[in-house]
Chain A
Amino acid sequence: MLYREAGDFKTSYVADSQTFPIAFDRYRYWVVLAVAFLVVPFFITDYTANALLLPFLIYSIAAIGLNILTGYAGQVSLGTGGFMAVGAYACYKLMTAFPDVNILIHVILAGGITAAVGTAFGLPSLRIKGFYLAVATLAAQFFLVWLFNKVSWFYNYSASGQINAPERTVLGVAVTGPNTPAWASYLVCLVFVTACALIARNLTRGALGRQWMAIRDMDIAAEIIGVNPLKAKLTAFAVSSFFVGISGALFFAVYLGAVEVGEAFGINKSFLVLFMIIIGGLGSIFGAFAGAAFLVCLPVVLKLIGVDLLGWPTDLVAHFQLVIVGLLIMFFLVKEPHGLAQLWRLAKEKLRLWPFPH
């Protein structure tokens, strides 16, 4: 009854084209933000932060990035892990080279560097499409991981080949390094997630987003009506890599603290983020969040049920996890190719008519 447009009159174009046209959605959005910023930090524990909230927030950024490329611009990429590694190593090099500069600036710069690298690897997309492109992005994945493994300049010649995040502070509170309070790392990630989601949402409904979607739906037709495929595809790669780079930087600096490239940013990471956007919903910002939340929670829930309730050994639960993730992906593709986001949309449609659907 609350959820409808009736009585919510728009008097300006700005009001008419806002993201949430329904008043209830707007309030809900502000409530979610308020809870995330003002309530959660006071109740957060190390366990909830490290097992659930931090990975959720960081993967959300990566999923938004990949969703821009794959969901909006239609260019399938299997190189997400590699680009996350670029973000992480760029952040590390910047942190150690300029220790006095604020870490937040480093993270943004790392995103910028990743955007440049991503654009370079996006160049072949002008010639090749579809599966061929998906495989071509694997070149980025394997080459970048190899590069960070072999060239010791990237990890400052450390003996272990690992990179470790030194302690950096924001407003006097440590946000990286071992002494970071859980709420601080949570808030840093939350700020980036909010900013990224806002930017992505507004990019995708603006001129650039429309160009991406035109390219996705049919690139030749898009070219005929005046979309420049060079610009559209390369900006998609750049913006997507920017987000993915930020998530890689946060993943390394704020979440893990110490990273070994092959383990943290291998091909599995690429697939994980791809699954997030498939399950969440291609071409939807909400879908990126839903997919990330789902795939972050799934192992935790399975572990709770399998190990703690049924008393199974952990390797068995890990195998079950593979089976369930695989089944879910197939199930979603068969039943609802548009993912959780579509279910959400349908629920909202139903809610609009409730309780008098006729």
Chain B
Amino acid sequence: MSADFLYGIEVVINGLMAGVMYALVALGFVLIFKASGIFNFAQGVMALFAALTLVGIMEGQIPFAHLINATFGTEIHHFGWHVPALLAIAMTVGVMVLFAWAVQRFLFRHLVGQEPIILFMATIGLAYFLEGVGDLMWGSDIKTLALGLPQGGARWIEDATAGLGGDDFYGFFIDKLDIVATGVAIVLVTGLILFSQYTKHGRAMRAVADDHQAALSVGISLNFIWILVWSLAGFVALVAGIMWGAKSGVQFSLSLIALKALPVLMLGGFTSIPGAIVGGLIIGVGEKLFEYLIGPMVGGATENWFAYVLALLFLVFRPQGLFGEKIIERV
């Protein structure tokens, strides 16, 4: 096999891995959209906030230290302890549940029955608010997430595949972190599917997704389900935040991956969990291949927009996405 062809395969594999990362973010969107019809723009900021909180708790940072210092002229930064990773993750999940409750109690309870676009704009407001709060609480500097996740290329894959090509080929370069992320994503999706198929609350969640009023009439508490869904989305955001944070540091740009998850959702359909995965893979492979094949001809950095244009072209032919429910409109 020629080296070019093999490098093409490497690009595809790396694209698949990147796609998994996109799918992780997209999952949170789908969860909330299915259960409450809210298109949660804040999902990316939730990932950022969760990762910031995790780092902050682990490092023993004092929340709002910067603000307190500026107001009272004190010089405090850290409590002086370090929290073990698992405990910190549990505490962060707690924070996200609290956040889910607050969002439900103070925002969306008052917006029941509003048009979807109003709800969408409310989540944009929520995104700004959460971003500001995250910065105020933990500071806006770039933080490293020291969870001990493996980094760098997987040497053994490189060595094992080096013999495939000619002299120009040095084996597939695959980031270890991406492999971990793939494993985590598989576990997460399996867990979510099991949860929604076999547990009481999971079934209630699907019932709400099918029909709010019918679910209400058989005694399911919408309020509880929505808090549950937002908490789940917060948990997914935390996982995504950990993975992306380990990859590129916990910083503001983390919230922008939400934008990258949007074309994934459009491709896969807003209402389908498998759609989020498949959409993520298609986008990941598509943009990496495009950058590899066409990118050099047009000046590179096509990854910024390729996903959107791909999704746009795709939607013109299939407006509900790959796996989305058919859009039926009645007058």
B129 x A128 contact (CB < 8 A):
no
Residues of chain B at interface, number, CB under 8 A: 52
Q: Is A135 an interface residue (CB 8 A)?
A: yes
Q: Which residues of B contact A325 (CB under 8 A)?
A: 125, 128-129, 132
The verdict on A124 contacting B312 (CB below 8 Å), with A76-B117, A326-B125, A333-B118 known, is yes
A residues 317-358 in Cβ contact with B at 8 Å? 319-330, 333-334, 337
A143 x B315 contact (CB < 8 A):
no
Q: Which residues of B contact A134 (CB under 8 A)?
A: 120
A334 x B110 contact (CB < 8 A):
yes
Q: Is B178 an interface residue (CB 8 A)?
A: no
A139 x B312 contact (CB < 8 A):
yes
The verdict on A267 contacting B259 (CB below 8 Å), with A325-B128, A326-B126 known, is yes
A330 x B315 contact (CB < 8 A):
no
Q: Is B104 an interface residue (CB 8 A)?
A: no
Task: Please report the C-alpha to C-alpha distance between residue A329 and residue B41 in the assembled complex, in whole angstroms.
Answer: 14
Report B272-303 CB contacts with A as 1/0, cut-off 8 Å: 00000000000000000000000000111110
Q: Which residues of A contact B263 (CB under 8 A)?
A: 135, 138-139
B316 x A128 contact (CB < 8 A):
yes
Q: Which residue of A lies closest to B73 (CB)?
A: A311
- State which of B110, B301, B331 has its C-beta within 8 Å of the C-beta of A220: B331
The verdict on A136 contacting B312 (CB below 8 Å), with A130-B116, A131-B39 known, is yes
Q: Which residues of B contact A131 (CB under 8 A)?
A: 39, 116, 120, 270
Closest Cβ of chain B to A103, distance in Å, is 31
Task: Please report the C-alpha to C-alpha distance between residue A202 and residue B293 in the assembled complex, in whole angstroms.
Answer: 50
Q: Which residues of B contact A135 (CB under 8 A)?
A: 262-263, 265-266, 308, 311
The verdict on A333 contacting B122 (CB below 8 Å), with A127-B316, A128-B319, A323-B132 known, is yes
B319 x A322 contact (CB < 8 A):
no
Closest Cβ of chain A to B303, distance in Å, is 10
Report B131-142 CB contacts with A as 1/0, cut-off 8 Å: 111011000100
Q: Is B67 an interface residue (CB 8 A)?
A: yes
Task: Please report the C-alpha to C-alpha distance between residue A129 and residue B125 in the assembled complex, in whole angstroms.
Answer: 22
Closest Cβ of chain A to B256, distance in Å, is 8
Q: Is B79 an interface residue (CB 8 A)?
A: no
Q: Is B199 an interface residue (CB 8 A)?
A: no
The verdict on A330 contacting B331 (CB below 8 Å), with A139-B308, A139-B311 known, is no
Q: Which residue of B lies closest to A330 (CB)?
A: B125
The verdict on A316 contacting B331 (CB below 8 Å), with A131-B39, A271-B124 known, is no
B121 x A329 contact (CB < 8 A):
yes
Task: Please report the C-alpha to C-alpha distance between residue A139 and residue B140 in the assembled complex, in whole angstroms.
Answer: 29
Task: Please report the C-alpha to C-alpha distance between residue A128 and residue B311 in the assembled complex, in whole angstroms.
Answer: 12
The verdict on A138 contacting B259 (CB below 8 Å), with A150-B299, A316-B66, A316-B67 known, is yes
B305 x A142 contact (CB < 8 A):
yes
Report B295-331 CB contacts with A as 1/0, cut-off 8 Å: 0001111101100110110011001010000000111
Closest Cβ of chain B to A161, distance in Å, is 12
Task: Please report the C-alpha to C-alpha distance between residue A333 and residue B140 in the assembled complex, in whole angstroms.
Answer: 28
Q: Is A27 an interface residue (CB 8 A)?
A: no
Task: Please report the C-alpha to C-alpha distance between residue A319 and residue B141 in the assembled complex, in whole angstroms.
Answer: 12
B residues 253-270 in Cβ contact with A at 8 Å? 259, 262-263, 265-266, 270
B128 x A315 contact (CB < 8 A):
no
Q: Is A218 an interface residue (CB 8 A)?
A: yes
Find the residue from B66, B129, B265 having the highest chain A CB count within 10 A.
B129
Closest Cβ of chain A to B72, distance in Å, is 12
Q: Which residues of B contact A320 (CB under 8 A)?
A: 132, 136
B309 x A143 contact (CB < 8 A):
yes
Task: Please report the C-alpha to C-alpha distance between residue A132 and residue B262 in the assembled complex, in whole angstroms.
Answer: 9
Q: Which residues of B contact A333 (CB under 8 A)?
A: 111, 114, 118, 121-122, 125
Q: Is B70 an interface residue (CB 8 A)?
A: yes
Q: Is A117 an interface residue (CB 8 A)?
A: no
Q: Which residues of A contact B86 (CB under 8 A)?
A: none
A132 x B266 contact (CB < 8 A):
yes
Q: Is A274 an interface residue (CB 8 A)?
A: yes
- State which of A124, A130, A312 has its C-beta within 8 Å of the C-beta of B117: A130
Report B207-239 CB contacts with A as 1/0, cut-off 8 Å: 000000000000000000000000000000000
Task: Please report the C-alpha to C-alpha distance between residue A132 and residue B266 in the assembled complex, in whole angstroms.
Answer: 6
A278 x B121 contact (CB < 8 A):
yes
Closest Cβ of chain A to B301, distance in Å, is 6
Task: Please report the C-alpha to C-alpha distance between residue A326 and residue B255 in the assembled complex, in whole angstroms.
Answer: 15
Q: Is B107 an interface residue (CB 8 A)?
A: yes
Closest Cβ of chain B to A330, distance in Å, is 4
B127 x A146 contact (CB < 8 A):
no
Known: A136-B308, A322-B135. 7 other contacts (CB 8 A): A127-B315, A128-B316, A131-B39, A135-B263, A146-B302, A313-B70, A315-B140
Q: List 16 A-B contacts (CB under 8 A).
A: A129-B319, A131-B39, A136-B308, A138-B259, A138-B262, A142-B308, A146-B305, A150-B300, A218-B331, A267-B259, A274-B121, A310-B71, A316-B66, A316-B136, A319-B136, A334-B107
Question: Interface residues, chain A, CB within 8 Å of chain B?
Answer: 76, 124, 127-132, 134-136, 138-139, 142-143, 145-146, 149-151, 218, 220-221, 224, 267, 271, 274-275, 278, 310-313, 315-316, 319-330, 333-334, 337
Question: Interface residues, chain B, CB within 8 Å of chain A?
Answer: 39, 66-67, 70-71, 107, 110-111, 114, 116-118, 120-122, 124-133, 135-136, 140, 259, 262-263, 265-266, 270, 298-302, 304-305, 308-309, 311-312, 315-316, 319, 321, 329-331
